[in-house]
Amino acid sequence: MKDRPDPKQALLLNGEPYPAAQSEEGVCSRRRWNRRVLIGILLVETCFVVPKYAHGQLGIFNAIFSSIQNDIGGSLNSINQIVQQTQRLYQTTVAPLAAINQARGFVVTSINNFRGQMNQVFNTPFTSAVTPGPQQFESILHSRLSSRIPALQTSFSSNYGVVPAVNAASPQDRVMMDVDDALGQENLKTTLIADQGSDTILETANQMENQVAVSTPGSNPFLTAQAQVANLRCQAYIQKMLAAELRQEAGRIAHDNVLVKRRTAATGGINGLITGALTER
């Protein structure tokens, strides 16, 4: 076997043997040294650059804070002074506290003096029926609850009677009785609805009085708007009652007119009979 060349004698330089392993180890050590020197230089530069950069940022922030404190702060102080002057104007001239307390006291006194008496007037019982049937009918009428309308219809039929059978009265009489009963029940039902609506209006009025007693300056437009809405609701209930009254009056006029027509027809029949009797003679 041939002897393998010594790796240390593999390379020659100027005719002299050059140890390769030692050369490679030297190159690696020089590279590591260069890398360490470069890292050290970067660290030194960073130590000098970062404080300068941070100092620049602090300068920007100081300029911003100075602008806020001097320029914007002066404007804010002026605005606060104007707001305080406006508040003093409202508290002393536009809405003085003494006048507000006086108005509130007047409202509270009015509520204490008149609300109880008005409630007594609105809730005073005035029943007058004696027999059981009318007493039940009257209690339903004064219940002020629209939910009792079916009971009202049943009690009305039991107290005022029902329309007679077909052979028990003439067709025209049956029609008129049915019309009169329908108009009467309709208006009585309307009274229940109107009574319940009036209770709602009174409750709304009490709530508004309570709000006025503790109201603050600037709340008048809201209270006025609420009062207008309550007024419109009250007007709607009044219109409903007026319409029921007009229907009742129209039905009464029509009923009277039917009686006149029937008397006229009866008179014409009697005249015909008399004329026929005289003609036969």
Residue in the structure block whose two tokens are 């809730």: 123
Per-residue pLDDT band for 74 (boundaries 50, 70, 90) equals: confident
* Residue 193 or residue 7, greater confidence: 193
Burial class (CB in 10 A: 0-12, 13-18, 19+), 209: middle
Asked whether residue 252 carries a pLDDT value surpassing 70, the answer given is yes
Bridge partners (DSSP) of residue 17 are 12
For the chain, list the strands marked E by DSSP: 11-13, 16-18
Please state the domain extents for the chain: 7-81, 97-124+163-280
Exposed e or buried b per residue across 115-133, where buried means at least 16 C-beta atoms within 10 angstroms of its C-beta: eeeeeeeeeeeeeeeeeee
Predicted confidence at residue 3, as pLDDT, reads 47
pTM of the model: 0.58
Predicted confidence at residue 188, as pLDDT, reads 92
Q: Give residue-wise pLDDT tens across range 218-240.
A: 787 888 888 888 889 888 888 88
Burial class (CB in 10 A: 0-12, 13-18, 19+), 155: buried
Q: Decide if 209 contacts 248 (C-beta within 8 A).
A: no
